[in-house]
Structure 1
Amino acid sequence: MSTLRRCGIVVSLLAVPLAACTGDGPASPRATPEPTGASRVEPRAGLVDDEGTPVEVPVPARPTGTSHDVTDLGADPEPGTGDDAPAIREALAAARAGDEVVLPAGVYDLRSADPDDGDANLLLADDVWLRGAGPGATVLRTSFDGEDDSAVVRGEGVENAAVSGLTITSAYDGELGTDPDEEGPGGGPMYGVQIGEDDGEGSRRVLVEDVSVERFQRHGITVKASRQVTVTGCRVADATSVGPGGSGYGIAVEGRADQRDPDAGNDSRHNVVVGNRLDGTHLRHGVLLQFPTHHNLVADNVIDGGVLDAIDLHGEGEYLNEIRDNTVTGVDAAAVALGNSGGEENPHDASGEGNWVHGNRLVGNERGVLVILGTPDTLVEGNEIVGRDDSVAGIELRNAPGTVVRDNTVTGDDGDFWAILVAEDDGADGRGAGAATDVLIADNRLTGAGNGIDVQAGSDIEVAGNEVDVDGTPWQVGEGAEVDGAPP
């Protein structure tokens, strides 16, 4: 049972204290207050509207109507006993607003697609809850194996729908993905849970709770062109591919390419990814935001390891999102990255403006926070970053105009490590090349066996009030870099 299901969550500046439990089902996270102190990052990021007014993200009410037990309609919870998908679909069709479709403990084999969607086993219904007995207890096992756009559970243009308490897996029993440069091996469904739009209207007020997804190819849980979708208490692991072109994402929140109209029915905003666990051993990215999705909250997730950047703003215009109080460990890339080069077939560059990265604990990663390719006006504050013996930097800025780095604690563990590094950006095939401008580095505490602040390139770089107590070089400025401020 997840925290969100039992208690309200208060989204605060540096922590998420629990509000009083209501006992009446899930409460909605409350919006984040404005960053304290002087900030160049305006308007505010996170769960606020375009005017900065706090926004409450509602979740579906607990069922109060009829419970439809799928075993009463012929579903057999013993594994390998036939196709259980028709009985589950019959229960979903019979359910009315406020009802729930219940899957008792067992393994349900899904061997057919919905007649209304040849690429999905099950379709969510408005105002209906699809509920298992808990992840590991109730298992949906699909026979999809690499089919384009295949999904086990799909909701398109749905409202007030929920899926909870189950594991989604596949009959695929081959190798898992490990190589980010190779498309294979691949297998299983493309998506575990897919929430999206229908005829230009996104889904709204959807809850994905206590769901475990494994043995999929592209995204474990994906939310596209929708708003007010909450993903909480979920676990994602073991993608069958981590190759280029969109494989191996744990939880993805996406907008539509080049769509920044907040009045559009498929505008992507006010989605919540909170309190999830991601095993990154076979994930390309743990949590990913891509295309112009905005004012989302990614909080209190735990990511262990990863093939590439763990929390990735994918370099396609993602803006005014809040990334806070996550724990990321053991990634051979960046724990949090803003901007992404993409590849030859899918070139990317900068993330959008005003994203807020704060209160995260980033331990033993190659880099803590990385801002590149012209991503503007990022606020990086109040993070705890601890390097390992081969880490490169705690916070690394390349072409990152208007970035504010303040009140972070960074500890190094190696003589080659720099707590804060500002460097030239070579760009990606010419996209996003350049150096940082108008950057503030203030009031950070830098300690340990590594080095302090290295400004190799950039202009209008202000450095003030940092506490540097390192074994290595506390401070250096490259030829041609323009820095305002005395050495720490």
Structure 2
Amino acid sequence: MKKKSVRNSRLGLANWWWLALGLVILLTACTVKEPDKSVESDKTAEPAPAERGDWHVPGLVDRSGKPIEVPMPGPTTGRTLDVTKFGADPDPDSKDDAAAIRKALDAAEPGDEVLLPAGTYDLRTTDPADESANIVLRSGVDLRGEGQERTVLLTSFDGEDDSRVIRGSGAQDVIVADLTITSRYKGPLGDDPENGDVGGGPMYGIYLGAHKGTASSRILVENLSIRKFKRHGISVKASREVTLTGNSVSEATAVGPGGQGYGIAIEGSVKQHDPDATNDSRHNVVIGNTFDGRHLRHAILLQFPTHNNLVAENTITGSILDAIDLHGEGEYLNEIRDNTVVGGQRAGIALGNSGGAKNKHDASGPGNWVHSNDLIANRQGVLVILGTPDTLIEDNRITSGDNSRVGIEVRNAPGTKLYGNHITGGTDMFSGIRLIKDRGADGRGKGIPSGIRVKGNVIRKATNGIRIDAGKNLCIMENIFDSIEGDELRVANGIEVSQSCP
């Protein structure tokens, strides 16, 4: 049966739940120590432009703002080719099964399906035409196992540059489903975000990219378990209409700088800012996946000028750095909704990133929409920094934990809107919402919050409610405070705050 398409969840801007109490503005001086946002490096290019062209509505919409359905690959209409008939041995520790899987793929025609019966398939060789990959996908041909933990692809890659278990280059109309991708790596798992010289296994579990400027598209990756990789569990680069759902990602072997330890990464092209290009990265869907973040630098990452993607209904437990990260290279008009992030060591959701000593990142692009997420016991629930503009943050449910510092933190983030968020709990110096100066990254992104709108939020049982230490052109109105131990609203001397938002 053909998979249902994925739509934009809803359109419009603020949906305010609580419109009741006005505020009494308290002008009180205060000083806040600004926590660092971890530095990292990756392949980068010139700073991405802040413009969004003629795209103006976030999420799964077309250029005019009309909701679209992301197309899925069609159902199998032809034969089912069993890899054991081509010489694959599903018993563990066979000589090599990769060659037999490649033979089955070569024999398939569009509409066929290559089946890997339950068992363990040893991948010891690479594709003759692509020494970086064990298996190369063919357009129109599905690759399917018999269950996430019943069919296992076990690669012998161990730290080789750009190594990929499964690669799709300009592939179209393909389903990859119902299997595990892992490696023979026996060393420790990644846990040090400053160490880039450890780890093994393949660089990528699955890598989907463009070929001669043509994107991979109409790809479904479903019900996979991916573990013991070094860089990305699933990497989608310069591609569109890729749906990743029901997958489980964990156990990166490294989490150091330079792009290590990402669970799922959706990327645009480094030097491509043209939405009309055939490899423009948009309309990708990351939905209903699970991440054990104890050995992941980031669970889900968007970077370079990728836009109008949907990240929804994922569950992330723990993360070494920001769990869902818009990586500070112009990512714009993406929708981040209905995710559950629990116990991250940094932010549950972050927009903007400083980059590293070699490669410089800064702001995410304009118009990203972060809403209806459950963010529990992270250091920050949502963090917006380094000049990231025009983010809408609404209707999120943020619950603090013992190590939480702030529910929503806004630094240099012009035009950010905080509407209808519910923030609960918090001890010590915790604040439900905080606006502070951005120190920048070597001068990039330095500034103060400006044009910020904070309306209709509810903060309960917290040490402090809203704390304003820097900013201009600020509007704070119709927020609700309940059982606040310290200050409901604390505004530093010299800062003007309006109670009437346009």
Match of 2:228 in 1: 215
Q: Deviations over 1:288-329 (max 9, x none)?
A: 000000000000000000100000000000000000000000
1:477 to 491, 494, 501: 491
Q: Give the distance between the partners of 1:62 and 1:160, measured in 2 at CA.
A: 9
SS in 2 for 1:135: coil
Of 401, 404, 408 in structure 2, the residue corresponding to residue 391 of structure 1 is: 404
Give ranges in structure 1 of 5+ residues lacking alignment: 1-23
Shift in Å at residue 433 of structure 1? 0.4
Alignment of 1:126-137 (within 5 A): 126-137=139-150
Rounded Cα–Cα distance in structure 2 between residues aligned with 1:441 and 1:258: 35
Tell me the amino acid that sits aligned with residue 479 of structure 1: N
- SS of 1:426's equivalent in the other structure is coil
Separation (CA, whole Å) in 2 of partners of 1:480 and 1:247:
44
| Deviation (angstroms), 1:36 | 4.1
Aligned equivalent of 1:275, options 264, 272, 288: 288
Q: CA deviation at 1:415?
A: 3.0
Query: Does the 8 Å CA contact 2:136/2:167 hold for their aligned counterparts?
Result: yes
Aligned partner (choices 423, 427, 448) of residue 436 of structure 2: 423
Q: Report the secondary structure of 1:161's partner residue.
A: strand
Matches of 2:417 and 2:462, distance apart in 1: 25
Post-superposition CA distance 1:71-129 (Å, at most 9, x none): 01110000101100010000001111110000000000000000110100001111111
Contact persistence 1:137–1:166 (CA under 8 A): yes
Distance 1:481 1:342 in 2: 31
2:2 equivalent in structure 1:
25
Partner of residue 416, structure 2: 403
Q: C-alpha displacement at 1:64, in angstroms? A: 1.8
Alignment correspondent of 2:86: 73
Is the CA contact 2:432–2:462 (under 8 Å) kept in the aligned structure 1? no
* 1:32-71 equivalence runs, <5 A: 32-37=9-14, 43-71=56-84
Q: Retained in 2: the 8 A contact 1:457–1:480?
A: no
Residue identity in the other structure for 1:408: N
Is residue 2:480 matched to residue 1:455? no
Q: Distance in 2 between matches of 1:62 and 1:248?
A: 33
* Structure 1 segment 239-318 matched on structure 2, within 5 A: 239-318=252-331
Q: How does 1:2-401 map to 2 (within 5 A)?
A: 24-37=1-14, 43-401=56-414
Following the alignment from structure 1 to structure 2, what is the Cα–Cα distance between the partners of residues 136 and 345? 40
Question: Please, what TM-score do these two structures have when normalized by structure 1?
Answer: 0.93
- 2: CA distance between counterparts of 1:328 and 1:386? 10
Q: Quick one: which amino acid aligns to residue 243 of structure 1?
A: G
Q: 1:76 to 1:38 in 2, by over 3 A?
A: closer
User: In 1, Cα distance between the equivalents of 2:239 and 2:445?
Assistant: 29
Q: Distance in 2 between matches of 1:455 and 1:231?
A: 39
Q: Kindly indicate whether the alpha-carbon contact (under 8 Å) linking 1:415 and 1:451 is maintained by their aligned counterparts in 2.
A: no
Q: CA deviation at 1:264?
A: 0.5
Note if contact 2:113-2:141 (Cα within 8 Å) is conserved in structure 1.
yes
Identity percentage over the alignment? 56
Deviation (angstroms), 1:449 = 3.2
Q: Given that residues 14 and 419 in structure 2 are in contact (C-alpha distance below 8 angstroms), is that contact kept between their aligned partners in structure 1?
A: no
Q: Distance in 2 between matches of 1:57 and 1:102?
A: 26
Alpha-carbon distance in 2 for matches of 1:301, 1:183? 27
Higher relative contact order structure (alpha carbons within 8 Å, sequence separation ≥ 6):
2
Tell me, yes or no, if the aligned pair for 2:14 and 2:394 is still in contact at 8 Å: no
Partner Cα distance (1:68, 1:269) in 2: 33
Query: Displacement, 1:485?
Result: 2.2
- Secondary structure of 1:415 counterpart: coil
Please report how far the alpha carbon of residue 38 of structure 1 lies from its aligned counterpart in structure 2 after TM superposition: 8.5
Runs of 4+ aligned residues of structure 1 deviating over 6 Å after TM superposition are none
State the Cα distance separating 1:257 from its structure 2 match.
2.0
What are the Cα deviations for residues 447-488 of structure 1, in whole angstroms up to 9, with x where unaligned?
1132100010010110010001112211111123231129xx
**One-letter amino acid of the structure 2 residue matched with residue 156 of structure 1:** S
Deviations 1:221-241 (A, max 9, x none): 010000000000001000010
Deviates more, 1:138-147 or 1:470-479: 470-479
Counterpart Cα distance in 1 of 2:128 and 2:165? 14
Residues 335, 368 of structure 1: 8 Å contact kept:
yes
Give the alignment's TM-score, normalised by structure 2: 0.90
Which ranges of structure 2 fall in alignment gaps of 5 or more residues?
Answer: 17-51
Cα contact 2:15–2:419 (8 A) shared by 1: no
Aligned residue identity for 2:183: S
Q: How big is the alpha-carbon RMSD for the aligned residues of Structure 1 and Structure 2?
A: 1.3
